[in-house]
């Protein structure tokens, strides 16, 4: 990976990020009523509105306003929540860890699970396990994530009682240290599994197809002819190339993962961005909703670039421009 390529690729983020900010800006101005309402919320006093108006330059010409807006966002100023009377950035930042915990757990589960399932199916193509795994992932892939969550609650949490139904921690629990971590893990298991299931389907399909090709390839035959044990042929040779597109698919689905996380959080009462989004929607707290959009969109852009760089690093044959 040349530094020049790295710089060039990072430079490409700029127009995309600019476009996303422009969309945010346009939405504020296209909103019914005074744009200040979209930045400061519905129920401020006149003095506060004047302050926000001044800060975002709302009395200036539009191009100046745009520049001011971009400047404010760059300083992580996303306006003020009308409900909580606090900076939006602060409120969002509080919720990010919970969402990140859920998403990253799901990401790990789905990558490992999807690849393992793909390998499980591809080593006996068209056998019973292949057909079962393919059918199951097709079904899961088509199911809406909130429905999977509801079913999981119905069967595994409310029905069998294996998992807690709602939340991130047990109510009235004063556990600390290890016990607290285990409590969170117990709450995390089901939502993470539900969120992961859709990604598992995507990773599974890609792994399976790639692996089917690789297992019949000449270089895998060479690996076998060397005398390598079958699992080493699989892990060291056959899986290597299929993993590359899997990495890109995982990165390319960052937006999908996050929207899934939002919905999953709502189903399971997980205290992350999803819960925040829902309560902001219900109380018409537009600055927060807009802030979440900006944060997520910029994150997705970064994730895409990261994926792209990872791809080039993984495949030595890709040429840099």
Partner 1 sequence: MTEPGPTIVPGTGEVVSSGLEGMLGVPRQQVVRRLLRRPAGLAGAALTTLFVLTGVLGPALVPHDPAAVVGPSLSSPSLAYPMGTDALGRDLFSAVVVGARTSLVVAGLVGVLVLTIGMVVGTLSSWWGGWADDALMRLTELFQVLPRFFLAVVVGAIFGSTLPLLVLVLGLTSWPLLARVVRAEVLILKQREFVDAARVAGASGPRLVVREILPNALPAVSAFLGLVLAQVLLIEASLGFIGLGDPDIVSWGYLASQAQRFLRVAWWMSVFPGLAIGLTVLGLNLLSDAISDVLGSSR
Partner 2 sequence: MRAADGRAPALSIRNLSVRYDTVHGPVHAVDDVSLDVWPGETVGLVGESGCGKTATALAALGLLPRPAGRVTAGRVLVGGRDLLTLGRRELQKVRGAEVAMIFQDPMSALHPAQSILAQVTEAVRVHAVDLSASAARERAVALLDLVGVPDARTRARSYPHEWSGGMRQRAMIAMAVAHRPRVLIADEPTTALDVTVQAQVLELLRRLQDEHELAIVLISHDLGVIAEMADRVAVMYAGRVVESATASALFACPRHPYTAGLLASLPRLDREGGAPRGHSRLTSESGRPAVRLPLPPRCALGQDREGCMADVPRLRPTGGAGHQAACHHAEELGAGPGHRLVEADLRR
The residue within the footprint of partner 1, chosen from 205, 234, 239, 270 (CB under 8 A), is 205
If binding is defined by CB under 8 A, does position 58 make contact with partner 1?
A: no
Least separation in angstroms between CB 38 and partner 1? 7
If binding is defined by CB under 8 A, does position 301 make contact with partner 1?
A: yes
223 binds, among partner 1, partner 2, none (CB under 5 to 8 A by kind): partner 2
CA angle 26, 31, 34 (to 5 degrees): 105
Q: Which of 106, 102, 109, 195 is nearest to 144 (CA)?
A: 195
Chain centre distance of CA 248: 14
Residue with tokens 């994150």: 299
The residue within the footprint of partner 1, chosen from 39, 212, 233, 300 (CB under 8 A), is 300
Q: Which of 96, 243, 230, 101 is nearest to 169 (CA)?
A: 101
What CA–CA distance (Å, rounded) separates 28 from 88? 15
Site of interaction with partner 2 (CB under 8 A): 216-219, 221-230, 236-237, 240-241, 244, 314-317
Burial class (CB in 10 A: 0-12, 13-18, 19+), 2: exposed
Torsion angles phi and psi, residue 87, rounded to 5: -60, 135
Three-state secondary structure call for residue 80: strand
22 binds, among partner 1, partner 2, none (CB under 5 to 8 A by kind): none
Most distant CA pair in the chain, distance = 80
What CA–CA distance (Å, rounded) separates 183 from 173? 9
The residue within the footprint of partner 1, chosen from 158, 179, 181, 235 (CB under 8 A), is 158
What CA–CA distance (Å, rounded) separates 1 from 130? 38
Subset of residues 233 to 252 that bind partner 1, contact rule: CB under 8 A? 248-249, 252
Per-residue binding letters, 100-139, with partner 1 (x by CB under 8 A): --------------------------------------xx
Can you give the binding site for partner 1, defined by CB under 8 A?
A: 9, 15-16, 19-20, 23, 27, 30-32, 38, 138-139, 141-147, 150-151, 153-154, 158, 165, 201-202, 205-206, 209, 248-249, 252, 255, 258-259, 262-263, 266-267, 277-278, 280-282, 284, 286, 289-290, 292-293, 296-297, 300-301, 304, 307-308, 311-312, 321
């Amino acid at each position: 990976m040349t530094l020049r390529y790295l710089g060039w690729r990072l430079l490409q983020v700029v127009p995309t990020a600019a476009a996303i900010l422009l969309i945010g800006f346009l939405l504020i101005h296209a909103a019914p009523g005074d744009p200040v309402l979209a930045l400061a919320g519905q129920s401020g006093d006149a003095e506060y509105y004047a302050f926000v108006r001044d800060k975002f330059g709302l009395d200036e010409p539009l191009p100046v306003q745009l520049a001011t807006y971009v400047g404010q966002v760059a300083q992580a100023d996303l306006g003020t929540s009308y409900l909580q009377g606090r900076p939006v950035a602060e409120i969002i930042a509080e919720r990010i860890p919970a969402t990140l915990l859920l998403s990253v757990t799901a990401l790990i589960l789905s990558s490992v699970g999807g690849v393992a399932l793909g390998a499980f199916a591809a080593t006996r193509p068209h056998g019973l396990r292949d057909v079962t795994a393919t059918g199951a992932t097709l079904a899961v892939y088509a199911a809406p994530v909130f429905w999977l969550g509801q079913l999981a609650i119905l069967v595994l949490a409310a029905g069998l009682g294996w998992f807690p139904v709602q939340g991130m921690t047990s109510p009235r629990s004063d556990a600390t240290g290890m016990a607290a971590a285990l409590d969170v893990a117990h709450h995390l298991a089901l939502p993470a599994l539900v969120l992961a299931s859709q990604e598992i389907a995507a990773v599974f399909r890609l792994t399976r197809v790639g692996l089917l090709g690789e297992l019949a390839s000449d270089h895998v035959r060479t690996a076998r002819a060397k005398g390598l044990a079958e699992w080493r042929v699989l892990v060291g040779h056959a899986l290597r190339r299929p993993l590359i597109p899997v990495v890109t698919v995982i990165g390319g689905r960052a937006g999908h993962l996050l929207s899934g996380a939002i919905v999953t959080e709502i189903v399971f009462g997980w205290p992350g961005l999803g819960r925040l989004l829902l309560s902001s929607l219900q109380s018409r707290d537009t600055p927060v909703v807009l802030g979440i959009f900006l944060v997520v969109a910029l994150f997705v852009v970064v994730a895409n670039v990261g994926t792209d760089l990872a791809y080039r690093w993984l495949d030595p044959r890709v040429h840099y421009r």
